[in-house]
Each structure stands twice: as C-alpha cells, then as structure tokens.
C-alpha cells in the first residue's frame, strides 16, 4: 500500500455567524494517493471551497484531522503552514491572480523570489516553465496583453515554479470559454500524468470534473459519494 498524500478524518469546520454557527464541513473522511487527480463537486454551499482551503492550510479545522505529506495541519504552527504552502503546494485560481505590472516570466518567478532563489536562477526556471506551456514568445508580455487562456497558463506555470507535490485548483476554467477551458483541462491532466503531480480541483462543471480520476460529490458538508472515472475518462 502506498502512503496517502492527503488523509482527512472526521474533518469539520464551522463558521461563527453572530450568535449561531454555520457548519460548512461536517465530518469528511477522504484519502488521496500521490499522482491522483481528484475533483470536488457539489451544489453551491456544499463545502467544496472549505475543504480545499483546509487542505491548503488556509483555514483551520474546527474538529477532526487533515494530514498532508506527513503534516497534521490543524496542529501545525503558523510558520509551519507558511513553509508547507511554499514548499508543498501550488495554487491555481479562477481569476488567475497575476500581478498586472509584472511580465509573464516575473509572475512565474514570484514564488521563487519568496523562497529566496537568486534572480538568474529564477528567471531561467520561469522561462523553462513558460516554454513547456507553449508561452516562450509571451515571456515579456504583461497579463493585460495576454488572452484568458494564456493568462491561466502563466498562472499554472507559476503554480509549478516551486516544484509542488500538490496542486490545488479552484474553478480554474471558470473565467474561460468552453474551448479554452477544455485546453486548460487537457494541460492539467497531462501535467498530473507526466510530472507525477497530485491535483485537487473544485468545480461545479461536470465536464471539467470528468478529466479527474475520481469525482468526490459533496452535499451539506459531507461526502455523498465518490465516483471513479478511470484514466481513459475525459
């Protein structure tokens, strides 16, 4: 048996709302193996983003445990969580979140800058990643000079800069037309397969979810069912 990369146990999270509290997640047991591509789907408010944020070390559990890469995030210090996010994770967002005044390669190099990598090394790594994603000719362009699909590819290159084990994606195709969204999903699927990455992706779109190996259906803060898609799916 391989060691799971992610293992949650009775994982719960509530939010205080005045005098009451909202249970966003109500006891989730989920295991993800290295190299898996897992999609989280479910109705609005079912807890998808909360689960992604718990696994991303951005939100702390109210109860239960969340283990990623040997670290129990609920018991980790703030400094350990900062190091965990920097060294283990890559984040991809719906709105790309690129810095508008920086060029494509500078955006890709941001995580390396935060990790203290020298300029020449981070520029070389950024250019290699942009080339892998078919954007070599766009390295000096600013985000506003790029199409939506190109901007998301720059954001994907940025998410890969620190050689993460786990990619966390929140509606990565939500701002793209369906054809460009499909191209981005093909790219992410290829990255997981070829680079041995693990990916957890939140979406409300079953077409997007079908690129995953497994689809976790959430409802009312709990797992309703888990669907195996298989490697030929999508």
Ligand X SMILES: Nc1ncnc2c1ncn2[C@@H]1O[C@H](COP(=O)(O)OP(=O)(O)OP(=O)(O)O)[C@@H](O)[C@H]1O
| Site mask for ligand X (CB under 6 A), range 36-65, x = bound | ------x-xxxxxxx---------------
What DSSP character marks residue 102?
S
Q: Is the dihedral of CA 121, 122, 128, 132 positive or negative?
A: positive
User: Within 10 Å of residue 73's Cβ, how many Cβ atoms?
Assistant: 23
Instruction: Check residue 34 for interaction with ligand X (CB under 6 A).
Output: no
* Nearest distance, CB of residue 48 and ligand X, angstroms: 4
* Rounded CA separation 218/220 (Å): 7
* Nearest distance, CB of residue 31 and ligand X, angstroms: 20
Between 18 and 116, whose beta carbon lies closer to ligand X?
A: 18
Between 139 and 169, whose beta carbon lies closer to ligand X?
A: 169
* Nearest distance, CB of residue 173 and ligand X, angstroms: 14
* Nearest distance, CB of residue 23 and ligand X, angstroms: 8
- In the list 182, 204, 219, 233, the residue contacting ligand X (rule: CB under 6 A) is 204
What DSSP character marks residue 20?
E
- Reading the block at residue 193, the tokens are 């397969």
- In the list 15, 101, 163, 196, the residue contacting ligand X (rule: CB under 6 A) is 15
Q: How many residues sit close enough to ligand X to count as binding (CB under 6 A)?
A: 13
Of the candidate spans 16-24, 122-130, 149-157, 183-191, the one that interacts with ligand X by CB under 6 A turns out to be 16-24
Would you list the DSSP string of 138-187?
GTT--GGGS-HHHHHHHHHHHHHTT--SEEEEESTTTTS-HHHHHHHHHH
Q: For the chain, give the longest Cα–Cα distance.
A: 55
100 closest CA partner among 138, 143, 130: 143
* Nearest distance, CB of residue 192 and ligand X, angstroms: 22
Give the residues lining the site for ligand X (CB under 6 A). Answer: 15, 17, 22, 24, 42, 44-50, 204
């Amino acid at each position: 048996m391989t060691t799971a990369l992610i293992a949650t146990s009775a994982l719960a999270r509530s939010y205080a709302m005045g005098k009451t509290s909202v249970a966003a997640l109500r006891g989730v047991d989920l295991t993800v193996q290295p190299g898996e591509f897992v999609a989280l789907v479910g109705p609005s408010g079912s807890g998808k983003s909360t689960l992604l944020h718990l696994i991303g070390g951005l939100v702390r559990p109210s109860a239960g445990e969340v283990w990623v890469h040997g670290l129990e995030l609920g018991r980790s210090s703030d400094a350990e969580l900062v190091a965990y996010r920097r060294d283990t994770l890559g984040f991809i967002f719906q709105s790309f979140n690129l810095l508008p005044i920086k060029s494509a390669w500078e955006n890709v190099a941001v995580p390396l800058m935060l990790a203290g990598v020298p300029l020449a090394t981070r520029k070389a790594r950024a250019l290699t990643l942009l080339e892998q994603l078919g954007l070599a000719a766009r390295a000096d362009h600013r985000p506003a000079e790029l199409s939506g699909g190109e901007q998301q590819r720059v954001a994907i290159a940025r998410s890969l800069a620190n050689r993460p084990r786990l990619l966390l994606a929140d509606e990565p195709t939500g701002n793209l037309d369906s054809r460009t969204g499909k191209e981005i999903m093909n790219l992410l699927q290829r990255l997981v397969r070829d680079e041995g990455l693990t990916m957890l992706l939140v979406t409300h779109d079953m077409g997007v979810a079908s690129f995953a190996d497994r689809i976790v259906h959430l409802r009312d803060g709990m797992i309703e069912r888990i669907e195996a898609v298989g490697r030929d799916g999508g």
